Amino acid sequence: MKIPDALTGAIRQAQSVLLVAHVSPDGDALGSSLALARALRGMGKSVSILDKDAVPRIYRFLPGWEAVSAELPDVSGGEPDALVLLDCGELERTGFKSLPGRVKLVVDHHLTERSYGDVRWVLPTVSSTGEMVYNLIRALGAEIDAKTALCLYTAIFTDTGGFRYSSSTPSSFRAAADLVELGVKPWSITENVYESISPARMRLMGMAINGIRFHDDVAVIVVTHDMYRETGTTDEDTENFANLARSIQGVEVAVFIRQTGPESFKVSMRSKGRVNVAAIAETIRGGGHHNAAGGKMDGTLAEVEERIVVALKNARRDSQS
């Protein structure tokens, strides 16, 4: 993996580093941040980790998660030498209006083009930011101890859906093999990530599955505030709902519509491969990857559902003509 010299150079030179990942952090955002933080601290640097949203309960097995702060660090003594954006390529996705850092670096694997930062290392064909950070730590010559390995493995594991997606390349498996050699216990991570569903979350899932609607080969799965109330759940209990709907036989694209306000929704899309959902996400204030992307829409639930289903149909008609 070719890493820009400007990136490794800037990180080597920095004494203080601020790491920031995207809002609603997932396993890749958190695993990458925590792993890079540990490795850089091992090199004698002072590192802070920032995320606008709290660490979801299912990721609280990651060593060091308590240190992820939601508050911008005090910069009265000066800006950090380097800012590193992880698993996102733009300021907007961090949820902050501005971020301090004498040099601004981006380590990301999203398809959507952005221009933020002085040095951008963006590899859309790589499985995860975690796989990139694994290679970055190696290039820096820093240590990967068992805890760092656990964070990196979780990042790669979650973004590849447990090494199932087409993004799982020989390089992802090589990184994973190395991390297992360094002490990672795969089952322990599987259990934490995929096999620790709370009874309330399972009920929410049942309710959402019952309500799945089909528009030809598009499946729509919905979660509303009323459903949270009825089951005693919150938005962090909806992870993987979009994948759930995609897993249905004959479904090409799944759309997960999650209520965020009276008439506002987060829209997640998952494709089996024939439709590039990142392109559609760009039309709804979002972005992502070919097979997994998301954005935001306003209106009533019926309007949002209608608009996104039509957008998908049009995109496919255009791509076929």
Nearer to Mn ion, 33 or 148 (CB): 33
The only residue of 292, 304, 308, 312 in contact with ligand AMP, by rule CB under 6 A: 292
Q: Which does 179 bind (CB under 5 to 8 A by kind): Mn ion, ligand AMP, none?
A: none
- Six-digit token string for 173: 């498996």
Q: How far is the CB of 32 from Mn ion (least distance, A)?
A: 8
Comparing CB distances to ligand AMP, the nearer of 126 and 140 is 126
User: Residue 287 interacts with ligand AMP (CB under 6 A)?
Assistant: yes
Specify the stretch interacting with Mn ion by CB under 5 A; choose among 87-95, 99-107, 114-122, 295-303. Answer: 87-95
Q: Is 28 in the site for Mn ion (CB under 5 A)?
A: yes
- Residue at 180: amino acid letter: V
Question: Which residues ranging from 88 to 147 are in contact with ligand AMP (CB under 6 A)?
Answer: 93, 110
Can you tell me the distance from the alpha carbon of 207 to that of 308, in angstroms, rounded to the nearest whole number? 22
Subset of 253-282 contacting ligand AMP (CB under 6 A): 268
Q: Are 223 and 204 in contact (CB under 8 A)?
A: yes
Q: Which is nearer to Mn ion, 107 or 280 (CB)?
A: 107
Does 159 bind Mn ion (CB under 5 A)? Our answer is yes
288 scored as a contact of ligand AMP (CB under 6 A): yes
- Residue length of the chain: 321
